[in-house]
């Protein structure tokens, strides 16, 4: 199959590595000529160019640029493609992308590989990034079954765990397990740095260990990613934050009232809830 990839960064580059290794013709585009040359030199693409017209011959095109640029890239790319070309994207929010592209490109299948690292760019691309990890496709009523089955087959060939759901369900689910945790972790760090006693905060930094490392990790990542989550998944994120505020207020109230049985009940409930959220994750092979 001829596969086009727009954006040879972490996700696009990783797709190129695996799909090329599987024997597909992989055509990549990047705005930077030196990235195209690097991808060719590393043998992860068949050809690469800053010109989107390179993808005219593609059977399937993956849009792998940041969320804020996917629609604009599609607008530039569409005139270069045959109507039979299947277009998919990898953006981590689905409703706005599907709403923008599906009405204009019938062979569009929204997608989100739930895999990544804290790095970005082609140098961060790696083989087997998607193996064992969820890869969500978000078809809608008008999505042609053939387009869905072609993208599904490609996902399976990457050894991704294929899930299908409506775009709205995807966005609501990832708000809970991805976007809300980024905001909570960021607000934890923000609160810590408001400690007025400099000596205390310096001591805290020396004492910080695995618990703080785990709870602060996603809030200390790339600000651009957090910003995109908030901008593109605003209604779902706000809904989760509001419910989170209620649960935080409940905790504060229990502690203020020294209602230790209520606090213990809440912490017992969360102790039981956590394994349900991570049981699928711990079944996966280590990255």
Binding residues (CB under 6 A) for ligand NAP: these are 7-12, 30-32, 35, 64-67, 69, 73, 90-92, 112-113, 116, 120-121
Whose Cβ is closer to ligand NAP: residue 33's or residue 201's? 33
Specify the residue, 112 or 254, whose C-beta has the smaller distance to ligand NAP. Answer: 112
CB 109 to ligand NAP: min, Å: 15
Rounded least distance, CB 192 to ligand NAP, Å: 25
Token output for 39: 């991808």
C-alpha to C-alpha distance for 10 and 116, rounded to whole angstroms: 8
Three-state SS letters, the chain = CEEEEECCCHHHHHHHHHHHHCCCEEEEECCCHHHHHHHHHCCCCCEEECCHHHHHHCCEEEECCCHHHHHHHHHHHHHHCCCCCEEEECCCCCHHHHHHHCCCCCCEECEEECCCCCCCCHHHCCCCCCCCCEEEECCCCCCCHHHHHHHHHHHHHCCCEEEECCHHHHHHHHHHHHHHHHHHHHHHHHHHCCCCCHHHHHHHHHHCCHHHHHHHCHHHCCHHHHHHHHHHCHHHHHHHHHHHHHHHHHHHHHHHCCCHHHHHHHHHHHHHHHHHHHHHHHHCCCC
Whichever of 74 and 105 has its CB closer to ligand NAP, that residue is 74
Radius of gyration of the chain (CA): 22
The smaller minimum CB distance to ligand NAP, of residues 4 and 9, is found at: 9
Least distance to ligand NAP, CB of residue 225, Å: 7
Measured CA to CA, the distance from residue 232 to residue 240 in angstroms comes to 14
State in angstroms the smallest separation of the CB of 111 from ligand NAP: 9
Based on CB atoms, which residue is closest to ligand NAP, 185 or 254?
185
Closest CA to 4 of 67, 70, 63: 63
Q: Closest separation between CB of residue 12 and ligand NAP, Å? A: 6
Going by DSSP bridges, is the β-strand pair 25-29/47-49 parallel, antiparallel, or unpaired? parallel
Nearer to ligand NAP, 114 or 263 (CB): 114
For the CB of residue 52, give the shortest distance to ligand NAP in the complex, in Å: 10
Cβ-based nearer residue to ligand NAP, 18 or 254:
18
Q: In the complex with ligand NAP, which residue's Cβ is closer, 56 or 69?
A: 69
């Amino acid at each position: 199959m001829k596969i086009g990839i727009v954006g040879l960064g972490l996700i696009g580059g990783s797709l190129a590595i695996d799909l090329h290794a599987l024997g597909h013709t992989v055509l990549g585009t990047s705005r930077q000529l030196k990235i195209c040359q690097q991808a060719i030199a590393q043998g992860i693409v068949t050809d690469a160019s800053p010109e989107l017209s390179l993808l005219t011959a593609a059977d399937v095109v993956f849009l792998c640029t940041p969320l804020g640029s996917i629609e604009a890239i599609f607008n530039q790319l569409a005139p270069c493609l045959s109507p039979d070309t299947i277009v998919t994207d990898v953006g981590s929010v689905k409703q706005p992308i599907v709403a923008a592209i599906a009405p204009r490109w019938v062979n569009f299948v929204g997608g989100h590989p739930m895999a990544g690292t804290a790095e970005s760019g082609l140098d961060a691309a790696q083989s087997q990034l998607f193996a064992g990890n969820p890869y969500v496709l978000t078809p809608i009523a008008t999505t042609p079954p053939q387009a869905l089955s072609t993208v599904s087959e490609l996902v399976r060939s990457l050894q991704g765990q294929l899930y299908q759901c409506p775009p709205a369900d995807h966005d609501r689910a990832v708000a809970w397990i991805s976007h809300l945790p980024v905001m909570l972790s960021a607000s934890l760090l923000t609160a810590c740095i408001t400690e007025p006693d400099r000596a205390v905060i310096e001591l805290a930094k020396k004492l910080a260990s695995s618990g703080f490392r785990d709870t602060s990790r996603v809030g200390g990542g790339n600000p651009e990613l957090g910003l995109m989550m908030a901008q593109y998944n605003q209604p779902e994120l706000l809904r989760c934050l509001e419910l989170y505020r209620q649960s935080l207020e409940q905790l504060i109230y229990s502690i203020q009232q020294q209602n230790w049985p209520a606090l213990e009940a809440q912490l017992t409930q969360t102790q039981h809830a956590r394994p349900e959220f991570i049981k699928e994750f711990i079944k996966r092979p280590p990255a």
